[in-house]
Amino acid sequence: MKTNNGNIKIDGIDKKILRFLMEDARTPILEIARNIGISGAAIHQRLRKLETSGLMTGSKFIVNPKILGYTTMAYIGIFLDKAMSNPSTVKELEKIPEVLECHYTTGNWSILIKVLCKDNEHLMQVLNKNIQQIEGVSRTETFISLNQQIDRQITI
């Protein structure tokens, strides 16, 4: 593994390790080692280097929100009254648990957020009582996701 202008260069073995872990982060190290044909110690050493480099930022379990009754995913474009309102708006958005992502964008909106709600009524409450009440928010534009058709990471 070498760095080049701040970018990490990984070899074929690193890529194989990453593919196994991206498929299932719980894959045992020894199983990966057997499949690749190198020792478990070598896998551990490479994983430490990948983590230290910042390429790998950990592993996590993913909760299925539908099982908890969250079925309405929406993207909301937020128009701010002035650009200076951005930091305080983001601080307020962080307090709303339904907000999963927040992006500072180019284009028409100042901010684009992804929210997850139980249903359309819940979404309306989050919009009316939380997001649109934030000082600096002049208006919003909402797009409801009917179905997520692609969900993946970058190809290694």
Asked if the domains at 2-53 and 65-145 fall in one CATH topology, the answer is: no
* Fold exhibited by the domain 65-145: Alpha-Beta Plaits (3.30.70)
CATH hierarchy code of domain 2-53: 1.10.10.10
Per-residue model confidence as pLDDT tens digits over 15-69:
999 999 999 999 999 999 999 999 999 999 999 999 999 999 888 888 999 999 9
Per-residue model confidence as pLDDT tens digits over 65-88:
999 999 999 999 999 999 899 999
DSSP secondary structure letters along 56-76: ---------GGGGT--EEEEE
Q: Where are the domains of the chain?
A: 2-53, 65-145
pTM confidence score? 0.83
